[in-house]
């Protein structure tokens, strides 16, 4: 029979310090995404809804400058421009009517409901994030969220002075 002369506490602490736990390695590699899909700030991983969250960095990388272009990077979202005004459809649910009709996909800007589709076309500058909630959202977002909701959250003022300049240049009949 062999006997271990080392102290058990020393052995377990040396093993524990050399091998990090899987929870430690996973949390270091993933960035937490905070959304307000349920009217309170919480992690995107813990929200029991089908949510797509687009940060301002992701919008800039994708070249998205208008709220109509969100459909380019959001699964299940299409935007119909019939009648000259955008009508969002989430998972095929929407209303393709006139500018004065109330849509089946609710659009909110900083928590304020935009009632008519004519007001939903927004330039996406100074935006913190865009949240697209697929499926019925009537419990939290009201009667006009049958297909889902689009929540645009703008950046809050800060004490630091900052500016952003963007533009584009085109030459007629010439390659630049």
What tokens appear for 27 in the block? 């949390």
In a domain, 123, yes or no: yes
The residue with greater pLDDT, 37 or 173, is: 173
Helix (H, G, I), strand (E, B) or coil at 61: helix
The per-residue pLDDT for range 41-96, each reduced to its tens digit, is 666 666 667 788 888 898 888 888 888 888 888 888 888 876 667 788 887 777 76
Residue 31, in any domain of the structure:
no
* Higher-scoring residue by pLDDT: 5, 42: 42
pLDDT of residue 170: 73
Average of pLDDT values for 109-118?
A: 80
pLDDT of residue 98: 58
In a domain, 45, yes or no: no
Considering its fold, how many domains does the chain have in total? 1
Q: Is residue 164 part of a domain?
A: no
56 belongs to a structural domain: yes
**Residue 119, token pair as written in the block:** 């007001």
User: C-alpha distances in angstroms, 83 versus 75, 117, 121?
Assistant: 24, 11, 14
Write out the residue range of the structural domain in which residue 94 sits. Answer: 50-154
b/e for 49-63, b at 16 or more Cβ within 10 A?
bebbbbebeebeeee
pLDDT above 80 (res 38): no
Residues composing the chain: 176
Which residues neighbour 43 within 8 Å (Cβ) at sequence distance 6 or greater? 32, 33, 34, 35
Q: What is the mean pLDDT of residues 13-26?
A: 44
CATH number of the domain that residue 95 is part of:
2.170.130.10
- Contact between 120 and 86 under an 8 Å Cβ cutoff? The reply is yes
Nearest residue to 94 via CA among 102, 86, 83, 105: 105
Is 43 among the domain residues? no
Is residue 84 situated within a structural domain? yes
Task: Tell me the β-bridge partners of 127.
Answer: 154
Alpha helix locations (H) across 2-86? 8-18, 22-29, 56-62
User: Which has the closest alpha carbon to 145: 113, 111, 100, 101?
Assistant: 113
| Mean of all residue pLDDT scores within the chain | 73
Q: Which tops the pLDDT comparison, 76 or 6?
A: 76
* Any domain includes 137: yes
């Amino acid at each position: 029979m062999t006997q271990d002369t080392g102290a058990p506490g020393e052995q377990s602490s040396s093993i524990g310090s050399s091998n990090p736990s899987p929870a430690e390695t996973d949390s270091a590699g993933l960035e937490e995404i905070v959304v307000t899909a349920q009217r309170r700030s919480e992690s995107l991983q813990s929200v029991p809804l089908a949510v797509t969250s687009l940060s301002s960095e992701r919008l800039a990388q994708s070249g998205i400058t208008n709220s109509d272009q969100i459909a380019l990077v959001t699964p299940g979202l299409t935007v119909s421009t019939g009648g000259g005004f955008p009508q969002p459809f989430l998972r095929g649910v929407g209303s393709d009517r006139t500018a004065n009709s109330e849509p089946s996909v609710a659009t909110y800007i900083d928590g304020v409901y935009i009632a008519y589709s004519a007001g939903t076309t927004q330039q996406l500058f100074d935006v913190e994030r865009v949240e697209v909630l697929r499926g019925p959202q009537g419990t939290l977002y009201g009667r006009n969220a049958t297909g889902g909701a689009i929540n645009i959250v703008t950046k809050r003022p800060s004490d630091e002075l900052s500016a952003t300049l963007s533009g584009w240049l085109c030459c007629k009949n010439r390659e630049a």
